[in-house]
Amino acid sequence: MDEERALYIVRAGEAGAIERVLRDYSDKHRATFKFEPTDEDKRKKLCEGIFKVLVKDVPTTCQVSCLEVLRILSRDKKILVPVTTKENMQILLRLAKLNELDDSLEKVSEFPVIVESLKCLCNIVFNSQMAQQLSLELNLAAKLCNLLRKCKDRKFINDIKCFDLRLLFVLSLLHTDIRSQLRYELQGLPLLTQILESAFSIKWTDEYESAIDHNGPPLSPQETDCAIEALKALFNVTVDSWKVHKESDSHQFRVMAAVLRHCLLIVGPTEDKTEELHSNAVNLLSNVPVSCLDVLICPLTHEETTHEATTLDELPSDKTAEKETVLKNNTMVYNGMNMEAIHVLLNFMEKRIDKGSSYREGLTPVLSLLTECSRAHRNIRKYLKDQVLPPLRDVTNRPEVGSTVRNKLVRLMTHVDLGVKQIAAEFLFVLCKERVDSLLKYTGYGNAAGLLAARGLLTGGRGDNWYSEDEDTDTEEYKNAKPKEELLKPMGLKPDGTITPLEEALSQYSVIEETSSDTD
């Protein structure tokens, strides 16, 4: 009945009546996502009527009402086939200021029309294969990038940027060809990185270092939403960027990683928005070539060094342990480097573990990121080892028992999800410099057996990667609890980790017994 009345007014009424009836329809169906199949034909005709109104010279408020109803109706995939034509798409592109002839965004009164047109395009492109093909034909990605450049540094049009970026994300999600076009032809990587810089109001203090105001206000909801959409679009643009072939690529990825470091050190308007922001930053960091992730840590600034020195001077000279604690806790410092971003990633990982669900989607990206960072960058690995696997003092409880990060990760090593337990074990193995004896010390043989069997290391040894040699970190508690003889190795194992036949295992045991009884 609503569609019938609206259609009658749209076909025969004047602009004021059309605006009123469509506003009423929009208010009533704002939260409608499921439609009655019996009214499908009426909704199709209403869409067609709205497009006929949009080509006329009607007031801006009437255009907004038309577009609001069109956005609601475009949630229904079934009605989009007859209305998704090249002509209708071009009408929406014109209203969204996506035509190349529109040089500026000066009329503030037009902004609601632009935003609603972009919202309609998001729904239509996502729900209609015909619209997706027309997007390629009309070169929509290039038009969206042009619009972004027009409003790149203008904060008062965040809504336009937000839905422009959302449509760019949808296009790059649905078409791999557009990802390549965005990356190379349209220079999407620097453009989207600049959008993030603008959203975060970044002020550079060095080539890859930004000023962080820990006492500053949180991001506004609009800035946060804009940044999240930019991060998602950048993820699609860089999804295949595992190797850097040119110096210019390396520089651009380092700039992006530095922006993402800044992102990890700021907060959104709410705790949930902050987690969503950081989650998308983690996903994007996973696409950055690991050689460019060194910018996640940086040398202490002069102000930070001075602050630490002042704090330490306030402690008595004989309080060495307290001085080390202050230095470590105040600014997350390791070896003269600021580790705040890594500390945020570590806390983010622990929160995801504590959630206890959706590990594959929520936990594995950050675990993979920390694993690759630790494998490639010595200072990051040593800092994470210090935080996750501190010197072992509790030798009475099993490794999986307790509430420390180590205990939580060890429990994941026997998780039912194969991917989750593999990446948890891999992370701890890398922190142990891929040394079997070190891994067993922190996790126990049973928990580590799956990883060691997969790598053929059940009889001991170490992985394929090279790590620097560190001093012995065994505590007195561990040395006292450690067996005096070598750890017993499983019977019947070949060097490659496969099981030997029972007869051969028994003969090996007999040889060992004879050798041990020899009183030479």
Indicate the domain borders of the chain: 1-138, 333-466
Burial class (CB in 10 A: 0-12, 13-18, 19+), 106: exposed
Q: Does the pLDDT of residue 5 top 90, yes or no?
A: no
Q: How far is CA 321 from CA 175, 316, 327, 331, in A?
A: 57, 11, 10, 17
Q: Just give the CATH number of 1-138.
A: 1.25.10
The secondary element (H helix, E strand) that includes residue 251 is helix 247-264
- Tokens of residue 398, six digits: 């099993």
The neighbouring-strand residues paired with 499 are 493
pLDDT surpassing 70 at residue 256: yes
pLDDT surpasses 80 at 472: no
Q: Closest Cα partner for 278 from 179, 202, 200, 217?
A: 200
Q: CB atoms < 10 A from the CB of 514, how many?
A: 9
Q: What is the mean pLDDT of the chain?
A: 84
How many residues does this entry show for the chain? 520
DSSP of 469-513, one letter per residue?
-------HHHHHHS-SSPPPPPTTB-TTSPBPPHHHHHHHHHHHH
The band of 335, judged by pLDDT with boundaries at 50, 70 and 90, is: confident
- Nearest C-alpha neighbor of 263 from the set 295, 237, 305, 290: 295
Query: Is it the case that residue 98 has pLDDT exceeding 60?
Result: yes
Q: How far apart are CA 272 and CA 283, in angstroms?
A: 17
CB within 8 Å of 461: residues ≥ 6 apart: 436
pLDDT of the residue at 52: 93
Q: What percent of the chain has pLDDT over 70?
A: 80
Cβ-Cβ contacts under 8 Å for 327 (sequence gap 6 or more)? 308, 312, 333
Share of the chain above pLDDT 90, in %: 59
Tens of pLDDT, residues 407-452: 999 999 999 999 999 999 999 999 999 999 999 999 998 999 998 9
The DSSP element (H or E) to which 334 belongs, if any, is strand 333-334
Least confident window among 98-112, 386-400, 437-451? 98-112
DSSP annotation of 296 reads: G
| Predicted confidence band of residue 308 (pLDDT cuts 50, 70, 90) | low
Phi/psi for 218 (5° steps) reads -70, 165
Question: Rounded to two decimals, what is the model's pTM?
Answer: 0.85
Provide the pLDDT for residue 457.
82
pLDDT at position 516 over 50:
no
Q: Are 373 and 342 in contact (CB under 8 A)?
A: yes
The Cα–Cα gap between 372 and 257 comes to 14
Query: What is the enclosing helix (H) or strand (E) of 299?
Result: strand 298-299
Among 242-251, 311-320, 331-340, 492-501, whose mean pLDDT is lowest?
A: 311-320
Assess whether pLDDT exceeds 50 at residue 456.
yes
Interval 393-401 mean pLDDT = 84
Strand (E) or helix (H) holding 63: helix 60-73
